[in-house]
Amino acid sequence: MPSPTVSFSELSKNSKRVAETVERAQRVHVTRRDGEDLYLTTERHDRQREETADITTRLFTALISSDEGARAALLALPQVFPWVRHLSAAEAREFVVDLVDAIRDATDLDVHSNLHRVIVEWRATARILADPELTARLTTRLPREDHGEVSAP
């Protein structure tokens, strides 16, 4: 269900009405012209979202801790990430481990960027593996020439 949307100027001019909308909808999207959009939410709604994420993380972690659960997670993976079909079985298992670690970071440390990074990086790997020509070019051994020191980015 999409959140109601208000402009930042509407929030500053009619904060009481916007607050009532937040209490009713639990979350409101605030658009801004001079910066990143914001979301206003109730404390109860935020707490419930955190609890949902925590329970989901613990359930998923417990599930993959057994062989049967890990197999079930691997079988379900293509429904969530269709591109995993381009990964080998070992790569898919490695993706699940990376995914669980990133999910733990999101719930335990409130660091959500790792989860996004893991998905983006594994999707990029699958994209390369889906193209045999690109895979061949990127996996060809480099000449044993020394090209000098690589500078830090």
The reply to whether the predicted model has a pTM over 0.75 is no
More confident residue, 28 or 143: 28
Specify the higher pLDDT residue, 51 or 1.
51
Average pLDDT of span 43-71:
91
For residues 103 and 90, give the distance between their C-alpha atoms in angstroms, rounded to a whole number.
20
Q: Measured between alpha carbons, how far is residue 16 from residues 13, 28, 44, 136 in Å?
A: 9, 13, 18, 61
Banded pLDDT at 148 (limits 50, 70, 90): confident
CB 102 within 8 A of CB 117: yes
Q: How far apart are CA 122 and CA 99, in angstroms?
A: 10
Q: What's the confidence (pLDDT) of residue 114?
A: 92
**Given the structure tokens 């999409």, which residue do they identify?**
2
Question: What's the token pair of residue 48?
Answer: 């419930």
The listed CATH number (1.10.287, 1.10.260, 3.40.109, 3.40.1620) that belongs to domain 5-41 = 3.40.1620
Q: What angle do CA 76, 120, 98 make, to 5 degrees?
A: 60
For the segment 82-106, the average pLDDT, to the nearest whole number, is 94
The whole-number pLDDT of residue 110 equals: 86
Residue 37 main-chain phi, psi, to 5 deg: -60, 160
Q: Report the percentage of the chain scoring pLDDT > 70.
A: 100
Lowest mean pLDDT of 31-35, 55-59, 137-141, name the range.
Answer: 137-141
Q: Model confidence over 4-28: pLDDT tens digits? A: 999 999 999 999 999 999 999 999 9
Task: Write out the H or E segment, with its range, that includes residue 11.
Answer: helix 8-13
Using only C-alpha atoms, the chain has a radius of gyration, in whole angstroms, of 22
pLDDT over 90 at 107, yes or no: no
Residue 144 reports pLDDT greater than 90: no
Q: Do 22 and 10 touch, CB atoms closer than 8 A?
A: no
pLDDT of residue 132: 93
Q: What would the two tokens of residue 16 be?
A: 């009481």
pLDDT above 90: residue 152: no
